[in-house]
Amino acid sequence: MRRFRFLCLVAIGLAVQPCIAAPVPANLLAAYGGEYSAKCSDPSALRARVSKEGLTLVRGSKSITGVFEMEALSYMGNSPPAGYETTLMSNAKGVGSIVFIMYRSKNGPMVDLDTDPPVLKRVGIAQRGTVKYKKC
């Protein structure tokens, strides 16, 4: 009986292991860390932030952070759009995914959001737009 309990605990531990939060890797922080917005000078504008803690959306006094899950280099398929570099994916527990599609333009890194609507609603955005956010 003890052996069975031990094996059950080990199995549960292995099943839970992928769900444990990990910080955003240092190489991704170096390349993409910081704050992005369509209107950097407007404090009420939506901001996308890449930090050690994860991916965050902020608008005014409202914010939501997703725990970093992974980088997806092939998120855009075999023929990604011009300037595409990678995709950063996180999960805001119980709300949905926060996904930052990272581009590079002549002006530097940019973010496009592919975020679940319930996450956007948490920061007061009714629907996802087609705006790319520049680094502030």
Residue 57 lies in a domain: yes
Residue 2 lies in a domain: no
**Whole-number pLDDT of residue 1:** 46
pTM beyond 0.95, yes or no: no
Residue 65 lies in a domain: yes
- Report the number of distinct structural domains present in the chain: 1
In this structure, what token pair is assigned to residue 31? 């390349």
What are 76-90's pLDDT values in tens digits? 899 999 999 999 999
Distances in Å between the alpha carbon of 95 and those of 27, 30, 65, 119, 133?
27, 28, 10, 6, 22
The secondary structure of 1-44 as a DSSP string is -HHHHHHHHHHHHHHHGGGS--PPPHHHHHHH-EEEESSTT-TT
Q: What is the DSSP letter of 127?
A: S
Residue 5 lies in a domain: no
What are 25-84's pLDDT values in tens digits? 999 999 999 999 999 999 899 999 999 999 999 999 999 999 999 999 988 899 999 999
Residue 15 lies in a domain: no
Q: Mean pLDDT of all residues in the chain?
A: 84
Residue 12 lies in a domain: no
Residue 112 lies in a domain: yes
User: Any alpha helices (H) in 17-130, and if so which ranges?
Assistant: 26-32, 117-122
Residue 55 lies in a domain: yes
Domain that holds residue 82: 21-135
Percent of the chain with pLDDT over 70: 83
Alpha-carbon dihedral of residues 108, 111, 112, 114, nearest 10 degrees? 160
